[in-house]
Structure 1
Amino acid sequence: MSGDFTGRRILVTGSARGIGRASVERFLAGGARVACLDRDEAALAALARRDELYPIVADLADAGSVRDAVDRAADVLGGLDGIVNSAGIDLECPIEAMEDEQWQHLMAVNLTGPMLVCRQAVPHLRAAGQGSIVNVSSGAGLQPLRHRTAYGASKAGLQMFSKALAIEAADYGVRVNIVCPGAVDTELFRGSLPSSDPEPALQAVRDRYALARIADPDEIAAVIAFLTSRDASYITGATIAVDGGRTFH
C-alpha cells in the first residue's frame, strides 16, 4: 500500500505550510518519522508536537545551513530513506522591472536549494538503499505564465536537474521524480491574488484548468506520497503534472 511508511525516515523541506505540511501529515499517518525543514521557526513551532516529527530550522539559500540541517535530520532519524523538496517562492514581475537580487534569491531557493539538499542527502540515501527523492516543481515549468520568467526558469531547471540526477542515482538504487502542481490553495498562492477583490483573479485561474478548480494541498501530497512509497519502486526520472489539466487544456 502506498500509504504504508512504517519505519521510513523522510525529510521534507518547506514543511510548515501548504504542500510540504500536507506531505508531512501523509507520511506521519503512514507510520514514518519525519524531519521538517523550514526557515520559519514560528510556523514550525506551530506544528502539532508528535514523537515522530522533528522540526529543523534551515534556510535553503544558505549552503551551510542546508548542510547542517540535512546531516542533523539524518542524525535524529538514524538515516534517510526519502527526501521531498517542497520549499519554494514565487515572483510575478515584468522582466524590465526585475532586480538582480530578485532573480538571484529566487534561483537560490527554488533551484540551488533543492540541489544542496540532494547533494547532502545522497550519501545517506545510498547507505539506506532504495531511497527516494521527490522534487516539487510547477506547471509553470511545463507551460509558461506571463511575468514569471524567473519562476518558470527555476522550475524548469529543477525538472532537468532531477532527471539528470535520476540517471546518476539509479546506480545506487535511489529514485528521483518530479511533481508539477498547478494552482494550489496555499498561502503562497493566495498571496499572489489582489487583496481587495480576489474573485475575478481566482476565476481567471480556474478558467485555465480542465477541472475548473484549484487544488487542495493534500491532492498534491497524495502523489508525492505515492512516488515516495514502495508502490512506485519502478518509477524514476518521471515528471508528473498534477495540475487539473492546465498543461493540456
Structure 2
Amino acid sequence: MAEELVNMQNRRVLVTGAGSGIGAAVARQLARLGARVACLDRDGAAVTALAETLQADAIAIAADVSDGAVVARALAEADEKLGGIDGVVNSAGIVSVKPVTELSLDAWRAVIDVNLTGTFIVSQAAIPYLRRATNPAIVNISSAQALSPIAGTSAYSASKGGVLSLTRALAAELGPQIRVNSICPGLIDTPMNESLKTKADDGPPVPLDRYALRRWGDPDEVAATIVFLLSSAASYMTGASLAVDGGRTYH
C-alpha cells in the first residue's frame, strides 16, 4: 500500500536547482518512479546532461529563478512539453558563509534573491498550472539553518527562515486545493557544501557532534522525503516543515 501511495507514475513535476545536489537527486528519484520531470537550473549544460540520463519525458530548461520573466517562460515551456504541471520542487539555492560585519549588501541581496525571492517567483508562476492538476503540491527547500543558525550564515539563514514563513503563508492561501510543505535539510553532501568538509570560513571543520547520527546526509535521503511530500501519501499534510538533518536541530 505504501509503495502505491508514493507511485509518481505519469506525474508531471518541475524541479528547480536540478543541475546538482538535492535537486538532481529529486529529479532522478522522480524519474525512477515514473514521473515526467522538467529539470530547471541556471546551468543549462548541467540540466541538459541530467535530463539525457533520465528518460524521454524529462526536459531541461535553463533559467534563473530570480528573474520573473524568465521563470514565466520556463513554466509555460514545462506545461507545454509535459502536458501540465502537478508538482513543483523549489530546490534552487546559493550559500554565503561570512561574518555579518564582512557581508556586503550585494552578497546579501544575491542570496535573498535566489533562495527566498526565487522560491516566491516560481511558486507564484506555477499556481495557474497547479490549479488545473489533481493533488497538486509544492515542496520548498528551507534549511536546518532556519531552525538553528550558526555564526557566519546571516544571509543564508534569513533567506531560509523566510522560505519557512512563505511556505506556511502559501499553504494557508492555496488550500484546500494546493498543498505546500517544506523540508529543512542538515549537512548534506552536495557540491554547494563541498568547502564545509574541511573548514567553514577559514575555521575548523564542521563539527559532526552536533548531529545525532554523526555523519553527513546523502542527497538521496533528502530526495526521498521530498517525493513523499509530493505524493498521495502526504495528502493530509500542508504548511508542514520536516527536519531532514540527522538530528541536528534537536541535539
Matching residue within 158, 162, 170 for 2:163: 158
C-alpha distance in structure 2 between counterparts of 1:161 and 1:72, whole Å: 25
**2:135–2:232 contact (8 Å) kept in structure 1:** no
**1:129–1:174 contact (8 Å) kept in structure 2:** no
Question: Structure 1-normalised TM-score?
Answer: 0.94
C-alpha distance in structure 2 between counterparts of 1:48 and 1:235, whole Å: 30
Per-residue Cα deviation, 1:37-87 (whole angstroms, up to 9, x for no partner):
000012123215120210000001211111111121111111110000011
Matches within 5 A, 1:197-212: 201-202=205-206, 204=207, 206-212=208-214
What SS does the corresponding residue of 2:210 show, helix, strand or coil? Answer: coil
Matches within 5 A, 1:91-170: 91-170=96-175
Matches within 5 A, 1:1-249: 1=3, 2-47=5-50, 49=52, 50-171=55-176, 173-194=177-198, 201-202=205-206, 204=207, 206-249=208-251
Per-residue Cα deviation, 1:94-142 (whole angstroms, up to 9, x for no partner):
1111111111111000000010000000110011132000001000000
What SS does the corresponding residue of 2:61 show, helix, strand or coil? Answer: strand
C-alpha distance in structure 2 between counterparts of 1:114 and 1:3, whole Å: 24
**1:90–1:151 contact (8 Å) kept in structure 2:** yes
**1:12–1:86 contact (8 Å) kept in structure 2:** yes
CA RMSD of aligned residues (A): 1.6
What SS does the corresponding residue of 2:168 show, helix, strand or coil? Answer: helix
* Deviation larger for 216-225 or 68-77: 68-77
**1:71–1:120 contact (8 Å) kept in structure 2:** no
> Aligned partner of 2:247: which letter?
G
Q: How many residues align?
A: 244
C-alpha distance in structure 1 between counterparts of 2:19 and 2:195, whole Å: 16
C-alpha distance in structure 2 between counterparts of 1:192 and 1:66, whole Å: 31
* Deviation larger for 217-226 or 48-57: 48-57
Gaps of 5+ in 2: none
**2:196–2:205 contact (8 Å) kept in structure 1:** no
**2:14–2:78 contact (8 Å) kept in structure 1:** yes
Gaps of 5+ in 1: none
C-alpha distance in structure 2 between counterparts of 1:95 and 1:201, whole Å: 20
C-alpha distance in structure 2 between counterparts of 1:33 and 1:157, whole Å: 29
> Aligned partner of 1:30: which letter?
L
**In the TM superposition, what is the alpha-carbon distance from 1:191 to its structure 2 partner?**
3.0
C-alpha distance in structure 1 between counterparts of 2:44 and 2:85, whole Å: 22
Question: Structure 2-normalised TM-score?
Answer: 0.93
**1:61–1:108 contact (8 Å) kept in structure 2:** yes
Q: Once the two structures are aligned, what percentage of the paired residues are identical?
A: 46
C-alpha distance in structure 2 between counterparts of 1:135 and 1:240, whole Å: 11
